[in-house]
Amino acid sequence: MSNDPIHQFHISKLIPIEIGGLDFSFTNSSLFMVATAVGAGAFLYLTTSSRGLIPSRMQSVSEMSYEFVANMLRDAAGTQGMKFFPLVFSLFMFVLVANLFGMFPYFFTVTSHLIVTFALALLVIGTVVLYGFWKHGFGFLKLFVPHGVPGLLVPLVVLIEVISFLSRPISLSVRLFANMLAGHITLKVFAGFVTSLSAFGAVGVAGAVLPLAMTVALTGLEFLVAFLQAYVFAVLTCMYLNDAIHPGH
Amino acid sequence: MAGSIGPDETGRSGSGDQGGDPRGDDLDKRRRALEAAIAAKRPVPANDGKDPSTGGLNGIGYALRLSSEFIAGVVVGAGIGWFIDRFAGTSPWGLIVFLLLGFVAGILNVLRSAGLVAEHRIRKRDAGGPTKE
């Protein structure tokens, strides 16, 4: 049924591949991930290829995205954090372009699947943990022991801090996934109202104006959310990287 | 942060008060020490370090963050509790204890992302740096 609001998240195998009993099929999700990476890369490459001293309109878009992420990272993690700029910028562009691609009708939204966003979040947290241990050794574990806690409370506080740390990849991935999923379902449901109401003759068509207006408004909101979620994802990545660079003293 | 304020204030008020009585200078010094101590204790609102043009975005970003931070804490706590129960056979105590701990961790997450709890001492010095420039 074309009116099914969940149908847009259906994964279909485009090229079935099976290696050793595991499913490695190239799906529509994979296709859009490739499209996202290629789209973002091509945009940045083509717009900056002229290297104008006075940037053209598109070149300044690329430069703005660079400045935006660079400032965000410098504010959150200091100049030492700039070595992570490639990671943060790639994540930001991937999530942003994937979210924006999802706004095209009939396009698949990569970030509306929990496993994709969770993989991205694990990449971030994995980097934080590995870099933290590599840079500070076991001093990284000081992250879990705040200052000035009475000795008796330390085990409890450490336990709470560990749970708080473990909840980061969950909140990072669930936030992005849930916002994209809910937004797209809402859009589809309201758009579905328009067609179902129009079936009731003249009165229905008149009434269908309301959900139509709502759909238009929601589309605008979804564009905002698409950008905001990419921004929040990048900001939190910067904050977590800051923990790896300077664990609490 | 305290470090970057200190020298400035010393330079300004020190030269102004030199003509006055020594007790006033002492009081001044103590007041500065107190100010520095308060500044060190107070968490820097995370908005401060950001460029002003992204201020509105930050607000909406926070709104979107808070609920998921809380839920993630509870979910992770419950998950750990369930896991412990399953493998140590302590049902239902692991779930009960860790659900409560997860609740606490969720509250901590929310307060932290709202900037109401000082996160790590080192971060403030770092976040204060770019603002001063």
User: What are A106-157's pLDDT values in tens digits?
Assistant: 899 999 999 999 999 999 999 999 999 998 888 888 888 877 788 888 889 8
Any idea of the CA torsion for A48, A53, A58, A61, to the nearest 10 degrees? Answer: 90
A45: in domain: yes
Q: Are residues B80 and B60 in the same domain?
A: yes
Q: Are residues B100 and B79 in the same domain?
A: yes
- Residue A126: its pLDDT value, please? 94
What is the distance in angstroms between the Cα of B87 and the nearest Cα belonging to chain A?
19
Judging by beta carbons within 10 Å of its beta carbon (0-12, 13-18, 19+), is residue A73 exposed, middle or buried?
Answer: buried
Question: What's the mean pLDDT in B87-92?
Answer: 86
Q: Are residues B65 and B92 in the same domain?
A: yes
The CA distance from A179 to A168, in Å, is: 17
- Residue A210: its pLDDT value, please? 92
- Residue A2: its pLDDT value, please? 56
Nearest alpha carbon to residue A164 among B91, B107, B81, B16: B107
- Residue B119: its pLDDT value, please? 57
Q: Please give the tally of structural domains in chain B.
A: 2
**Nearest chain A alpha carbon to B61:** A232
A2: in domain: no
Q: Are residues B26 and B58 in the same domain?
A: no
The CA distance from A229 to A59, in Å, is: 24
Number of cross-chain residue pairs from A and B with Cβ atoms under 8 Å apart: 98
- Residue B5: its pLDDT value, please? 42
Does the pLDDT at position B48 exceed 70?
A: no
The pair of three-digit structure tokens given for residue A141, joined into one six-digit string: 């574990």
The residues of chain A scoring below 70 in pLDDT are: 1-3, 248-249
Any idea of the CA torsion for A175, A180, A185, A190, to the nearest 10 degrees? Answer: 110
B47: in domain: no
Residue B42 region by backbone torsions, left for phi larger than 0, else alpha for psi between -120 and 50, else beta: beta
A135: in domain: yes
Using CB atoms, pick whichever of B54, B64, B72 lies closest to residue A170: B72
What is the distance in angstroms between the Cα of B96 and the nearest Cα belonging to chain A?
14
Confidence band (pLDDT; 50, 70, 90) for B116? confident
A80: in domain: yes
Q: Are residues B64 and B112 in the same domain?
A: yes
- Residue B133: its pLDDT value, please? 33
**Which DSSP letter does residue B43 get?**
P
The residue range of the domain holding A110 is 7-245
The residue range of the domain holding B37 is 2-41
Q: Please give the tally of structural domains in chain A.
A: 1
3-state SS, residue B115: coil
Residue A137 region by backbone torsions, left for phi larger than 0, else alpha for psi between -120 and 50, else beta: left
A1: in domain: no
Q: Are residues B114 and B84 in the same domain?
A: yes
Please state the pTM of the whole predicted model: 0.76
Q: Are residues B67 and B107 in the same domain?
A: yes
A154: in domain: yes
Question: What's the mean pLDDT in B31-39?
Answer: 83
